Amino acid sequence: MDEKDDFDLEKRSADHLNYHSSKMLSESQFGAANDLKQSGLEPTIDIWRHQNSQNLGFDDSNLHASRSGFLQTGGGMMPQTLPEFPTDSSFIERAARFSCFNGGSFSDLGNHLSFSELMNLSANGLKPALGLQPRMTEENMNEAAQVDQREVEGTSIKETVVEFLRAPSYEAKDSDSDRQMELSMLEVGAEPAGRKGLGLKKRKRNGQDTEVERKEGAPRLQGETAKNDSETKQKKDQNPSTTAKATKHSKDSSKNSDAANQDYIHVRARRGQATNSHSLAERVRREKISERMKFLQDLVPGCNKVTGKAVMLDEIINYVQSLQRQVEFLSMKLATVNPMVDLNIEELLAKDIHQSRGGQSLYPFSPEMNMVPTQLHPSQQGLVQVGMSGTENPSDALRRTINPQLMAMNGAGYKDSNQIPNVWDNELNNALQMNFGNGAPFNSQEIDGSVPHGHMKVEL
Amino acid sequence: MDNQKLSTNPTSLKTRFALRFIRSLTRIKMANTPVSSMGTLRKRSQTIKLAADCSMASAVGSKRSWSRSALLKIRSRARLHAFAKEKVVTKKKKKCNRRDVGEVVIQQEVMGANELRQIVPGGESMEFLNLLKETAHYIKCLNTQVEVMQNIVDLYSPST
């Protein structure tokens, strides 16, 4: 897929970056990325209007919780540095997306990016931090606590974390070595975690207090981010020597210690769980699956009580099928509707002429909404609201304007390229006029105050 | 009517889809003769459904894998139609086309994932995780599609 290729390219290029430079870069990018994400979240409200606000909350909270929670983890260096690296390439990806689709961003743009990170990174056996934040925070808490207390016993865990943290060029290797690197990163994260901010959290040992820790960690972390990063770097330099002998993955980790760190997902093995790289990766993957299933649960109405993947999947399938059937049914309904009712050609022609006079200056023929935002904005509003109100007047006007004969007549006078969009806009503007009466032009003018709406007013 | 209702985002998925769909609807109305028989009615409804799906997919763009595969499928079918105009596209055939797109299923983690793949366009070649992501976006787009189409139908219907 294109996204994947771009993402891989970015990661590979980031490979060659110096650790310092990438860190600095991602630090600055992180703030910007956050802003971008937040701006991208606003259109959410419109799209998901008919949905639960939970969806919106989910998207928002997913992103924000993941980012802020990540900072809040305070699990020493590890989580603090993590947001930077995911955003390193994710920021580029996001920037590319935002440039490609001019502000046509949905809520899931941000979400999508996190998911595409998930996708790309998971392919390499590493899971992005964003999607897994809540769970990982808990894990980090647990692990950091244990590492702090029992450094001897937690050696294996430490080792895995260390190596995981230090593996930058994971995408260049196959999935097995990726998992090894994942584990090594875990180790690295544990060590600095033990020495750093987690020292503050020593008093809370069990995962029960993770939320409190997170909140406490938030203000601290934001202030300490820069400091932590420098410390992380130092510790990472120290780690290669210590962990080189520790695990069988030492060779990979020592090789990677010098290269710049990429965005990777830090996963800690929970207490009492296997620290095998494969099982860790699988656990992360399972968590991702469950997270997305929850998201789908919010989408599909009436699935709150359903538990279990199989039943949930069946529900989803049924819902999608019902939606598709609904589309089919509606299209049949549209086919049966006969648009050729009495048409008032002169009236519509007059309106159309007025409309297109102003319209031609404003509408370059373009399928993209961005090119014609001002004029179409009230038009679509009219359509949407007319649809909602279901009054008779707009439907008459709309039907008349959609009349093919009318369009043919319009076509005689104007260029083909402008014909259809002009007529369409005319229809909607007529609908708008009919629906709102005298109020419509005022509304339009309030919104953009453009001159053509003055024309509409005159026509009324 | 209500000033507060005028809050539609002009670049949202809904408005992009509405724009494209209404454009194609007007073209369809222009091109068609009055509906008389059941056959043409069915054909028209299929055309309209196709227009709806196509405008939805193009409103989404190439951002999503399902939209990309849907557009690919529609365009390839359009080319086929250009050569064989007598061919009648039935519902069954559409379903088969959906399955043919994409590669062989590589992973099957959870039971029922295959069924989901058949439903979501372009799902055959996706991993389970990606499939779930695409399904979520697809459901959202379907909801938008249904909403807009319902509004248009409501516009049309009152006076019939």
Q: Mean pLDDT of successive 10-residue segments in chain A (460 residues)?
A: 46 46 46 45 46 45 44 44 50 56 46 46 44 44 46 46 45 44 44 44 46 45 45 45 43 45 66 81 89 86 76 85 89 73 36 47 44 44 44 44 42 44 50 46 43 45
Q: Which residue of A has its CA nearest to B133?
A: A292
**pLDDT at site A265:** 67
pLDDT reported for residue B158: 67
Distance CA B133, CA B138 (A): 9
- Is residue B8, in this structure, part of any structural domain at all? no
Shortest distance, CA B9 to any CA of chain A (angstroms): 7
Instruction: Give which of A42, A48, A101, A106 to mutate to test B binding, by max B Cβ within 10 Å.
Output: A106
The enclosing domain of A282 has a CATH number of 4.10.280
Instruction: Give A354 or B121, the one with higher predicted confidence.
Output: B121
Question: Residue A329 sits in which domain range?
Answer: 276-350
From chain B, pick out residues whose CB is under 8 angstroms from the CB of A447. Answer: 6
Q: Tokens at residue A262, please?
A: 């990429």
Distance of alpha carbon A263 from alpha carbon A248, whole angstroms? 23
Residue B122 lies in a domain: yes
Confidence band, pLDDT 50/70/90 cuts, at residue B35: low
B54 within a domain of the structure (yes/no):
yes
In the chain, the amino acid numbered A159 is: E
Q: Is A449 on the interface with B (CB under 8 A)?
A: no
Place of tokens 């390193």: A88
Query: What whole-number distance in Å separates Cα of residue B71 and Cα of residue B75?
Result: 6
A49 located within any domain: no
Largest CA distance in chain A: 90
Q: What's the ipTM?
A: 0.77
The strand pairing partners of A164, in sequence order, are A184
Higher pLDDT, B159 or A223: B159
> Is there a domain that residue B4 lies in?
no
Predicted confidence at residue B7, as pLDDT, reads: 56
Q: What is the pLDDT of residue A149?
A: 47
Answer yes or no: is A195 within a domain.
Answer: no
> How many Cα neighbours within 13 Å face the side chain of A228?
32
* Interchain proximity A335–B149, CB inside 8 Å: no
Q: Residue B8's closest chain A neighbor by CA?
A: A381
Q: What is the pLDDT of residue B64?
A: 83
Please report, to the nearest 10 degrees, the dihedral formed by the alpha carbons of residues A123, A128, A133, A139 taken in order.
70
**Chain B residue closest in CA terms to A332:** B45
Contact state of A383 with B23 under an 8 Å Cβ cutoff: no
Radius of gyration of chain A (CA): 28
- A334-382 pLDDT per residue, tens: 877 766 433 333 334 344 444 544 544 444 444 444 444 444 444 444 4
pLDDT of residue A348: 41
Report the 3 state secondary structure along A231-267: HHHHHHHHHHHHHHCCCCCHHHHHHHCCCCCCCCCCC
DSSP 8-state code for residue B88: -
Cα of B77 to nearest chain A Cα, Å: 18
In a domain, A334, yes or no: yes
| pLDDT at residue A449, rounded to an integer | 43
- A304 in a structural domain: yes
Report residue B129 as tokens.
Answer: 């995780």
Q: What is d(CA B11, CA A265) in angstroms, rounded to the nearest whole number? A: 34
A384 touches chain B (CB under 8 A): yes
Average pLDDT, stretch B41-63? 83
A320 vs B31: which has the higher pLDDT: A320
Looking at the structure of chain B, the number of domains it has is 1
What is the total count of domains within chain A?
1
Indicate yes or no: pTM above 0.80.
no
Instruction: Flag whether B132 is in a domain.
Output: yes
Using a 10 angstrom Cβ sphere, with 0-12 exposed, 13-18 middle and 19 or more buried, the burial of residue A31 is exposed
Chain A contact for B10 (CB, 8 A cutoff):
yes
In this prediction, residues B101-123 reach a mean pLDDT of 60
Beta-carbon separation of B10 and A369 below 8 A? yes
Identify all chain A residues contacting B113, using CB atoms and an 8 Å cutoff. 313
Average pLDDT over chain B reads 72
User: Could you tell me the residue range of the domain that residue B87 belongs to?
Assistant: 13-156
